[in-house]
Amino acid sequence: MLIHKASDLTYADVTPKSVYLDRRKFLQAMGIASATAVVGQRLFEVAAPSENVFAGTKFSGVVKSPFSTTEKQNSYEDVTHYNNFYEFGTDKSDPAKNAHKLKTANWMVSVEGDVAKPRKITMDEILKIAPLEERIYRHRCVEAWSIVVPWIGFSFSNLAKLVEPTSKAQFVAFQSSYDRGQMLEAKWAGIDFPYVEGLRLDEAMNPLTLLGVGMYGESLPNQDGAPVRMVIPWKYGFKSIKSLVKIKFQSKMPPATWNLAASNEYGFYSNVNPNVDHPRWSQAKERRLGEILKRNTLMFNGYGDQVASMYNGMDLKKYY
């Protein structure tokens, strides 16, 4: 297991920025077309923020987390120019070119459903919920590439406790922002929007599940899911939904965009599992951005000590 104390970490251990930034080109190189389907169910009304806020605001007082890996980090260039954010284009380089159109000023996140204290939360309020931590996490894409990113945020459970989920809440549904005027490239994506995702409640409350507000010591760039996103390091990257506007606690399993588009390829759980291949490629190995040779993929992306107990008794090939 590659989890170490924060005192062991240095900024030299983080994945470089340049590699993280390009999904469609990778798929095209492998001769793979993107899934095409219409997501028939939308969880929420679309809410669009009103003005732009430039990324790059420095955070102070960020605490280094004991959940961080000591693996070498990718560069900031990697993480901001190799992205999957289909609302801004399907090539890995598209989000960096197009996401400047995303308006993040006056951002609000609605937290609702089976909770005692539903509310709408501003970014200023989100930043005051809990002390910010730097968590250097491995990020494994379903396309069999990976990176290491120094995220900034806090455990999602801190937000959940604020709204007090009721006994009815068994799942958490998430929705991204969607504004056709800001996201013109979305019409070529082959999936329906707004983008939706979901977790079981125990998954959402796991300490590793991060509500992310920044990376590399500063606020999130638009192409990386500004101003607030989920980061779930033991699951494939598409579960870590970007640019959140709605969070709903509910009794039923919520829809998830890629699962609805191609359920035989993208499961609801989508835990990183080297023993369960994608129908069109192996998941046994991965290519770390910036490296030539492939490396073995770790079960639960190496976070099994923290999360495996949640899946005791489950057939992980059936519930992929």
pTM: 0.84
Evaluate whether residue 319 is within a structural domain. Answer: no
Per residue in 17-28, pLDDT tens?
A: 443 343 344 334
Distance CA 139, CA 231 (A): 9
- Cα 248 to its chain centre, rounded Å, is 17
Evaluate whether residue 30 is within a structural domain. Answer: yes
Which H or E element spans position 63?
strand 63-64
Dihedral of alpha carbons 216, 57, 208, 211, sign? negative
Q: Do the Cβ atoms of 153 and 226 come closer than 8 Å?
A: no
Reference 156, options 238, 249, 226; nearest CA is 249
Evaluate whether residue 298 is within a structural domain. Answer: yes
Mean pLDDT of 72-98: 97
Share of the chain above pLDDT 90, in %: 82
Peptide bond into 221 cis (omega under 30): no
Q: Do the Cβ atoms of 204 and 156 come closer than 8 Å?
A: yes
Q: How many residues does the chain have?
A: 320
Q: Mind giving me the DSSP string for 260-311?
A: HH-TTTS-SS-B--TTS-BTTB--SEEEETT-SS-EEPPGGGGTHHHHGGGG
Residue predicted with more confidence, 6 or 284: 284
- Cα 241 to its chain centre, rounded Å, is 4
Q: Do the Cβ atoms of 62 and 288 come closer than 8 Å?
A: no
Per residue in 240-255, pLDDT tens?
A: 999 999 999 999 999 9
Q: Do the Cβ atoms of 111 and 118 come closer than 8 Å?
A: yes
Is the pLDDT at 44 greater than 60? The verdict is: no
According to the model, what pLDDT value does residue 55 have?
Answer: 62
Is the pLDDT at 233 greater than 70? The verdict is: yes
Radius of gyration of the chain (CA): 18
> In CATH, what number is assigned to the domain containing residue 184?
3.90.420.10
Distance CA 240, CA 211 (A): 10
Is residue 127 packed enough to be buried (19+ CB in 10 Å), middle (13-18) or exposed (0-12)? middle
Is residue 41 packed enough to be buried (19+ CB in 10 Å), middle (13-18) or exposed (0-12)? exposed
Is the pLDDT at 3 greater than 50? The verdict is: no
- Tell me the residue type at 314: M
According to the model, what pLDDT value does residue 86 have?
Answer: 97
Q: Mind giving me the DSSP string for 91-139?
A: STTHHHHHGGG---BT-EEEEEESBSS-EEEEHHHHTTSS--EEEEEEE
Reference 317, options 285, 281, 275; nearest CA is 275
According to the model, what pLDDT value does residue 15 have?
Answer: 38
According to the model, what pLDDT value does residue 56 have?
Answer: 75
- Torsion-angle region of 158 (φ positive above 0: left; ψ -120 to 50: alpha; else: beta): alpha
Q: Could you list the residue range(s) of the whole structural domain that residue 18 is in?
A: 6-311
Evaluate whether residue 207 is within a structural domain. Answer: yes
Evaluate whether residue 83 is within a structural domain. Answer: yes
Mean pLDDT of the chain: 87
Evaluate whether residue 299 is within a structural domain. Answer: yes
According to the model, what pLDDT value does residue 13 have?
Answer: 36
Per residue in 258-267, pLDDT tens?
A: 999 999 999 9
Evaluate whether residue 316 is within a structural domain. Answer: no
Mean pLDDT of 7-25: 38
Q: How many domains does the chain have?
A: 1
According to the model, what pLDDT value does residue 115 have?
Answer: 99
Mean pLDDT of 298-318: 98
Evaluate whether residue 233 is within a structural domain. Answer: yes
Q: Do the Cβ atoms of 191 and 39 come closer than 8 Å?
A: yes
Is the pLDDT at 144 greater than 70? The verdict is: yes
Dihedral of alpha carbons 170, 241, 4, 56, sign? negative
Residue predicted with more confidence, 43 or 300: 300
Structure tokens at 77: 């260039």
- Among 45-54, 73-82, 137-146, 214-223, the range scoring the smallest mean pLDDT is 45-54
Structure tokens at 170: 């068994």
Per residue in 87-139, pLDDT tens?
A: 999 999 999 999 999 999 999 999 999 999 999 999 999 999 999 999 999 99
Mean pLDDT of 133-154: 99
Is the pLDDT at 31 greater than 50? The verdict is: no
The DSSP bridge pattern shows strands 145-155 and 133-140 to be antiparallel
According to the model, what pLDDT value does residue 163 have?
Answer: 99
